[in-house]
Amino acid sequence: MGEIYALGLNFKTAPIEVREKIACSKEDLKRLLPYLKAVSGVEELCILSTCNRVEIYTFSPREENVDLLTDMFLDVKGSPEAKKHFFLKRGEEAVYHVFRVASSLDSMVVGEPQIVAQFKEAFQIARESGTLGKILNRLFEKALRASKRVRTETGISRNAVSVSYAAVELAKKIFGDLKKAKVLLVGAGEMGELAANYLKKIGCTLYITNRTFEKALKISQELGGSALRFEEIEDYLPNMDIVIVSTGSPTYVITKDMVLRAMRARRYEPMFIIDISVPRNVDPKVGTVDEIFLYDIDDLKEVVESNLKDRLKEARKGEIILWDEVKKFTAWLESLKVEPLILELKRRVKDIERESPYFRRVVFRAIREMKRNPDVANIIFRILAEEVEDVHGGESLPYVHNRTDGA
């Protein structure tokens, strides 16, 4: 009948300089999938390409077709040397791997949500390219079901594991509803921009300032905020609920005196200050001011590390869920092996079924048992063959299906 295979490379098996050489864009996949399926002889094919992995999922009657598929793919990408970084999994091990990938249990950051969308997109491209069939369609549908179970029945996505998102989660704990919060982003550091972008999506009002006003204008257009002049920070500080500082300045940009004046002006309404700069751009003494919540990058990293430990504990629960789903899928896959036998049985007994409700019930139960336990399918088939022979008193069902035929 054939087997499911998972092969390729990822962040565990290959460095970025190898992964980037064989990475595929959407256009690459649309062009490559039909070609690779045709030249390799595999029956079904899908490729998942992300920044952390390039993996091929296929169903093939022969492993030599999979070897050819690997060589053809690397030849097209001009990187035959990447083969030494490839892994190959087959059967139940391959199914388990696909389920782990879809559930983000195999991700660099366990529980990260992006992989689900990437997995769905790869699935959709393969389906539109005509390289999926009954087996991989079912595999991906069940993988997404398993992913949903892992996310809803465990806490792998519950806690922030990026510095930027951890800052946003802390802000939520302090302010509760952030929709009316005013956020000031000081500087143009990547992590600061990410945190500001998260807050903007929640509904916060965003203000951006930078030593170069043109840079502040550019970021404000990208993030959907308002640009302020850097020299006017102290004037605007009393109006801000959250301040994210992410600059390359070698000295403090926000001092204790500045914050004291701002807090008096805002009547000591709480203010959350996040200093993601290295070296720090907010004077640590700012944290001694009443109603100021100051966190630097080390504080945030402690939160991230604690949350990551929690996620890894939850991931172990996810593994149990996945094995449950894998066993269900492999049972269905095994049941396909007796389909020819069942179809032949239905064809031969249809006349007797019409005449005998009792025999119809017997056949129904027999088919159910054949699907549930393919190992006994041949025995059940022979028993019913003898029953049909007794009824007709003549020609019996030819016994043409045995274990060597693939039952």
The residues, any chain, with a CB within 8 Å of residue 316's CB and separated by 6 or more, are none
Structure-model confidence comparison of residues 397 and 189, the more confident one: 189
For residue 284 the two structure tokens come to: 């640590």
Q: Is 119 in contact with 48 (CB distance < 8 Å)?
A: yes
173 vs 163: CA distance, rounded Å: 16
The residues, any chain, with a CB within 8 Å of residue 244's CB and separated by 6 or more, are 167, 183, 184, 185, 186, 192, 195, 196, 274, 276
pLDDT in tens, 225-246: 999 999 999 999 999 999 999 8
Structure-model confidence comparison of residues 222 and 191, the more confident one: 222
Query: Which span out of 34-43, 149-158, 272-281, 352-361 was modeled with the highest average pLDDT?
Result: 34-43
CA atoms within 13 A on the CB side of 141: 10
Q: Is 168 in contact with 202 (CB distance < 8 Å)?
A: yes
pLDDT greater than 80 at residue 15: yes
pLDDT at residue 93, as a whole number = 97
93 vs 249: CA distance, rounded Å: 51
Structure-model confidence comparison of residues 1 and 283, the more confident one: 283
Lateral strand order in the sheet of 292-296: 226-229, 205-210, 182-186, 242-245, 271-275, 292-296
Rounded to an integer, the average pLDDT of 336-363 is 64
pLDDT at residue 223, as a whole number = 84
Q: Is 308 in contact with 321 (CB distance < 8 Å)?
A: no
The residues, any chain, with a CB within 8 Å of residue 405's CB and separated by 6 or more, are none
Mean pLDDT, all residues of the chain:
85
Residues with active-site annotation: 51
* pTM greater than 0.85: no
φ, ψ at 293 (rounded to 5°): -110, 105
pLDDT greater than 70 at residue 94: yes
pLDDT at residue 9, as a whole number = 96
pLDDT band of residue 1 (cuts 50, 70, 90) is confident
pLDDT greater than 50 at residue 185: yes
Cα 232 from chain centre:
44
Identify the structural domains of the chain with CATH numbers, from first to last. Answer: 3-158 (3.30.460.30), 163-300 (3.40.50.720), 336-405 (no CATH)
pLDDT at residue 397, as a whole number = 43
pLDDT at residue 202, as a whole number = 84
pLDDT in tens, 188-200: 777 778 888 888 8
pLDDT greater than 90 at residue 300: no
For residue 161 the two structure tokens come to: 């594991």
The residues, any chain, with a CB within 8 Å of residue 231's CB and separated by 6 or more, are none
pLDDT greater than 60 at residue 396: no
pLDDT band of residue 321 (cuts 50, 70, 90) is very high
pLDDT greater than 50 at residue 340: yes
Query: Which span out of 42-46, 181-185, 209-213 was modeled with the highest average pLDDT?
Result: 42-46
pLDDT band of residue 3 (cuts 50, 70, 90) is very high
142 vs 323: CA distance, rounded Å: 12
- Tokens 């940009």 found at: 253
pLDDT at residue 395, as a whole number = 45
Q: Is 187 in contact with 320 (CB distance < 8 Å)?
A: no
Q: Is 60 in contact with 283 (CB distance < 8 Å)?
A: no
For residue 398 the two structure tokens come to: 């030819």
In the chain, the amino acid numbered 52 is N
